[in-house]
Structure formats: structure tokens, C-alpha cells
Amino acid sequence: MIVLDASVLIAHFDSNDAHHAYADQLLVKVADQQLSASPITLAEVLVGPAHAGKLSRAQDALRQLDIDSVSLPEDAPARLATLRAKTHLKLPDCCVLLAAEQARAAIATFDDQLAASAQDLGFSVWTRRSRK
């Protein structure tokens, strides 16, 4: 299983994004694995389409990728606070880490700080530089 960061999904859906080609290549490479994301990540991805009046279309596109939403555990507030204090990442990035921890999954991201922190915490990480 792979937990996707918003950077990968946003790049995949936006052909003008600097990482669009990388996102498409990465999603092809991991097509045989279950994809998932935290609910916060999915909300991040949907903000732009919601603002543009295209929320339903974006939700359909996410469904086509068959992305599971990883539920946040009951103790999420304390665990997220601990991750934030430990990594100094923004809270949405900590949600990616917590989702990966919950699902015992790898992480796919184009955010260098998130990738470095995830690797420091022992996660396998897919990035735009991945050669897997």
C-alpha cells in the first residue's frame, strides 16, 4: 500500500503542474499497489476544484484512481502533535505520516521535507527521483 501526498495527486490532475509528468510516471509504476490518502490530504486536493466549481468532477477522478481514505485514529490529535513537534512539518504533512503509520504503508510525495522526514522515520518513500 502507498499513501499519497497531495503534491502527487495535484500534479497528476493538473497538466500545467511542474511535477505532472513525474506524477503520471509514478502512478504507472505503482499501479499494482493499493493507493490511499488521509482525509486531510484528500481535502487539500479538492480545495482547488471546489473553488473552481468542479468538485464533483474531481471527486470522480479520485474515485477512478480507487484511492482509499485512511481513517484517523481516535488518538490522532496527540499523535499528530507529537509528529509535528518531532519533524517540524506542517500538520497536513503529519497527516500523511500518520496515515502511512496507520496503514503500514510507503509514502509517495514530491515534497522534499516530507520525504526526508518520512525516510528518517523509517518509511519507504516514492519521490520524483524514485527509480523503483
Count of structural domains within the chain:
1
Contact status, residue 119 vs residue 112, Cβ threshold 8 Å: no
Instruction: Tell me what pLDDT residue 130 has.
Output: 67
Residue 131 included in any domain: no
CATH number of the CATH domain containing 56: 3.40.50.1010
Task: Decide if pLDDT at 112 tops 50.
Answer: yes
C-beta of residue 73 within 8 angstroms of C-beta of residue 101: no
Residue 82 lies in a domain: yes
Question: Distance of alpha carbon 124 from its chain centroid, rounded?
Answer: 13
Q: Does residue 132 register a pLDDT over 50?
A: no
Residue 132 lies in a domain: no
Domain, as residue range, for 74:
2-126
- Report how far residue 84's alpha carbon sits from residue 109's, in angstroms, rounded to the nearest whole number: 17
Give CA torsion, residues 117, 69, 102, 86, to 10 deg.
30
In a domain, 110, yes or no: yes
Mean per-residue pLDDT, 90-117: 97
More confident call, 130 vs 92: 92
Instruction: Say whether pLDDT at 79 is over 50.
Output: yes
Cα–Cα distance for residue pair 132/18, rounded to 1 Å: 21
Residue 116 lies in a domain: yes
- Position 45 scores a pLDDT of 97
